[in-house]
Amino acid sequence: MQAGLEKLSAVAQAELAAAGIAVAMMYPFITDTEFTESLEARPSWRRSWSPTPHPRRSTEQVANAILDLIRTGDAQADLVPKQFGESYHG
């Protein structure tokens, strides 16, 4: 899924740059929402993940990270923990 987001972001950046529109990509990892809870309640979903629960990001954490991304002007950021291959240190 992340690769798809990266490709979509790159295409949007290229197509909208001439119009002065900046595009950034935020990959939030797992966000603590009712949707996530409903998925995790399914036995088939639980089996597809590791037995250890993955850390969730609150909606406030995701919103603040998006605002930081806008403030910095960076092209992308993530909230994916380092143990899952990305850069989040929190």
* Residue 21 Rama label (left phi>0; alpha psi -120 to 50; beta): beta
Q: How many residues does the chain have?
A: 90
Q: Indicate the residue type of 74.
A: D
Structural domain includes residue 7: no
Residue 10 domain flag: no
Instruction: Tell me the per-residue pLDDT of 7-62, one tens digit each, with 9 for 90 and over.
Output: 998 999 999 999 999 999 988 888 888 877 777 677 665 555 555 567 788 899 99
Domain assignment of residue 18, yes or no: no
Residue 20 lies in a domain: no
Question: Residue 85: pLDDT band by 50, 70, 90 thresholds?
Answer: confident
Domain of 78, in residue numbers: 25-90
Domain assignment of residue 55, yes or no: yes
19 within a domain of the structure (yes/no): no
pTM of the model: 0.69
The count of other CB atoms within 10 Å of the CB of residue 32 is 15
Q: How many domains does the chain have?
A: 1
Residue with tokens 């992308």: 76
pLDDT recorded at residue 45: 58
Tell me if 14 is assigned to some domain: no
Q: Is residue 71 part of a domain?
A: yes
Spatial contact of 9 and 24, defined as CB atoms under 8 Å apart: yes
